[in-house]
Amino acid sequence: MKRYRPLLYIALIMVLAYFPVISFTFALKNDFFTQYFPQRFFIGEALRHGYFPLWNPYINYGIPVYADMNAGFWYPLTWLNALVSGYNAYSFTLEAFFHLLVSAFGMYWLTGLWKLKTPVRIIAAVSYACSGFHVGQLQHYNWITAAAWLPWCTRAMLDYYLTPSIKKIVAAILVFTLFITGSHPGMIIGGIYFFGMVTIAFFLEMKKEDGKVLWYAPLGKINAKALWYTPLVLATMILLAVSGMAWCYWELIPLFTRATPIEPGEILINAVDRHSFLSLLLPLTSATSSFDIALQNLYVGLAIFISAIAGVFMLKRIRTKYFLFIAVCFLFLASNLPGVGFLAEHLPLLGYVRLNSEFRIFGMLALIVFGAQALDQLYQRSAGLQTIFLIPGLISLVILLFRFDVLLPLSNEIREIDNKPGIRDFIRDLSFSKAFAIQSIFLILFCTGLYLALLKKKSWFIFFAVLDLVVATLLHLPFTGTGIRSTKDVQQLIAVSPGGFPTPSLASENSYIVSYPETDKVIGNWSMYSKKIGVKDWYPYPILLRGSEHYFEGDHPKLYESGTAFIFSPSGPANIRIIDFNPGLIRFEINLNQDATVVIKQNLYPGWETQVDGKSIHPDTAYTAFPAISLTKGPHMVAHEFRKPLVKILMLIYAVVFLLMLVYTIIASNTFSRNRS
């Protein structure tokens, strides 16, 4: 039980740092509910009512769930949450917090590879899970899931390289599967480069003469020749494990609007601003950036960052020195510095990443690993090197003394906070110099505490290191993580959604769309929850099919404006009665007084099959996006069904393989623990 005590401490710290979230006092804002929740809500609803969630007919006239890179369809935890509780505001928030814990526990496990002291590993764990990336991207859920499994993948991969075995490769495939299936596509691209660089560093750190690994010196010798094929074996097995997802994404790409490279100039718009590198020491300055502040924060805590500086200039025996190089490379790729656009244009796949700021998580993880190794040495050294913790505080103090003119009006503003709408509005209105002044005061206090703790009572060092991270997290959550509504308020909106999948109305779209509540900024457009098919304008959901784009942006009149129903005939009125409906099936009777074309407002996509009076047909395309079925005069029975048996087979195979790997890894880990005991 003693070995799990540090994990309990980490969990308690995370509850404190993210208390506004975990207490449901404030709901996570922006993309968290407007972009990442709707499809998961649909998956939960479909499973609860006995349908396999292949097609969602409600988002912009329908999109494939299984190929939606935003939906988490192939991510096992999505299905677990959907089956156990169904998706609601509370369960989704708890799922997000769970991934913050996974992030922290993963970093604790990763740093254990180098036999670091337990207090250092706890600081590294909290530094990662309370980093500027996690706090900044908390609303971008599949960035957080990717970041959660990143340290696990790194540790599992290195474990496998060190002592290749079935147990090690299964564990590595398992966590890499979680990383890939839960990730934003840009994180997968970044991961290819990151894990490739770590693998190369692993080889470079080996002594050719005896196969001993320098940066894992306590772990002994390995067979150097075997290492040349182990990365290839691991990569091949991972690709096989996620091949089902890869096939579905490959099918989507030609029909997807974001399948072309980004212009180099556009990439730099969504990058870490140059002045935001100050957030490595002064995180509050990132909240004053003129760029998207969610993409700017680089903070990893004073203890780790200052130790990393010491490791560069003052410490010589750091086994993780290649991680510093990796950190610099990825922080550069995440920025708008000169040369980034050129690299994005010429290096494979980088040009497809719209928000290169997400690459900073790879740099921050590498920086924490390097900084933790340096901190571990500082823990064991005399007071001579420990004065480095005073230097940033002293520099900030000198700057504040020279800019005393900033402090006087700032003190007046602080005293007047009670008269302002709130602390968030107060900080948002701050100039860069005033934000710098406030953060410098915190920096001076925490640097002094860290120095005195190392000098006199090391047990207090972890307190100041963690307190620094908790304060920074709580200060930034209102900007990039939480909104003004409570989780209860958000759930009250979601709860209005009808249960099940009622038969769509054949009234004109505009007759019910006009009554939709205004929910776009809270949970997304109500068309995704109304269980009625129809939308006035394109709702900016990340997955947009090319046919839909042409429909919404074309010069032709929109069907909403013409007052047409979900199923209609452009030729004139038709007697239509829907016989059967579910998310992937529309069966209806129609009686025509003349030959006519019938249009169904569902986007065309591979997998739709149409039958008229029991005979398969290939419908034409109407309005650039929808199936147009030509019918003769008289009564007809029409069935329009979305069938993807291959996807179901791939999902079944994937689920069985994943569960077998999970069970095997748990049994193997328990056996290893018993043998070690």
Coil, helix or strand at residue 568: strand
Give residue 326's pLDDT. Answer: 94
Give residue 287's pLDDT. Answer: 67
| pLDDT tens digits along 473-488 | 998 888 888 888 999 9
| HEC string for 235-265 | HHHHHHHCHHHHHHHHHHHHHECCCCCCCHH
Give residue 414's pLDDT. Answer: 44
Question: Average of pLDDT values for 488-500?
Answer: 93
Give residue 151's pLDDT. Answer: 98
User: Which of 310-319, 401-410, 619-628 is modeled with the greatest confidence?
Assistant: 619-628
**pLDDT over 60 at 268, yes or no:** yes
539-561: b or e for each residue (b if 16 or more CB lie within 10 Å)? bebbbbbebbbebbeeeeeebbe
Q: Is 267 left (phi over 0), alpha (psi -120 to 50) or beta?
A: alpha
Coil, helix or strand at residue 143: helix
Percent over 90 (pLDDT), the chain? 55
Rounded (5°) CA angle 464-467-472: 130
Q: How far apart are CA 235 and CA 418, in angstroms?
A: 57
| Lowest mean per-residue pLDDT among 153-157, 199-203, 205-209 | 205-209
Question: Average of pLDDT values for 141-156?
Answer: 97
| Lowest mean per-residue pLDDT among 342-346, 455-459, 494-498, 665-669 | 455-459
- Residue with tokens 């990569």, as numbered in its chain: 235
- Residue with tokens 């196969």, as numbered in its chain: 211
Number of Cα atoms under 13 Å in the Cβ half of residue 439:
28
Query: By C-alpha distance, which of 455, 598, 601, 515 is closest to 61?
Result: 601
- Residue with tokens 């998956």, as numbered in its chain: 43
Question: Average of pLDDT values for 100-106?
Answer: 98
Residue 72: CB atoms within 10 A of its CB come to 25
**pLDDT over 90 at 142, yes or no:** yes
Give residue 15's pLDDT. Answer: 97
The average confidence (pLDDT) of the chain is 86
Element (H, E) at 185: helix 185-204
**Helix, strand and coil in the chain, % to nearest 5:** 60, 10, 30
Q: How far apart are CA 295 and CA 462, in angstroms?
A: 28
Percent over 70 (pLDDT), the chain? 86
Give residue 351's pLDDT. Answer: 85
More confidently predicted of 200 and 365? 365
More confidently predicted of 291 and 355? 355
**pLDDT over 80 at 178, yes or no:** yes
More confidently predicted of 80 and 260? 80
| pLDDT tens digits along 633-663 | 999 999 999 999 999 999 999 999 999 999 9
Q: pTM of the prediction? A: 0.91
From residue 422, how far is each of 376, 419, 426 by CA, in Å?
40, 8, 6
Tokens of 520: 């776009």
Q: How far apart are CA 196 and CA 188, in angstroms?
A: 12
Local confidence band at 417 (pLDDT 50, 70, 90 cut-offs): very low
Can you say how many angstroms the Cα of residue 89 is from the centroid of all Cα atoms in its chain? 17
Give residue 40's pLDDT. Answer: 96
More confidently predicted of 322 and 95? 95
| Lowest mean per-residue pLDDT among 113-117, 426-430, 543-547 | 426-430
Contact (CB, 8 A) for 589 and 48: no
Q: How far apart are CA 108 and CA 5, in angstroms?
A: 12
Q: How far apart are CA 132 and CA 50, in angstroms?
A: 41
User: Which of 102-116, 374-388, 450-464 is modeled with the greatest confidence?
Assistant: 102-116
Give residue 505's pLDDT. Answer: 86
Contact (CB, 8 A) for 450 and 119: no
**pLDDT over 70 at 91, yes or no:** yes
| Lowest mean per-residue pLDDT among 125-134, 380-389, 444-453, 605-614 | 380-389
Question: Average of pLDDT values for 305-334?
Answer: 85
Local confidence band at 668 (pLDDT 50, 70, 90 cut-offs): confident
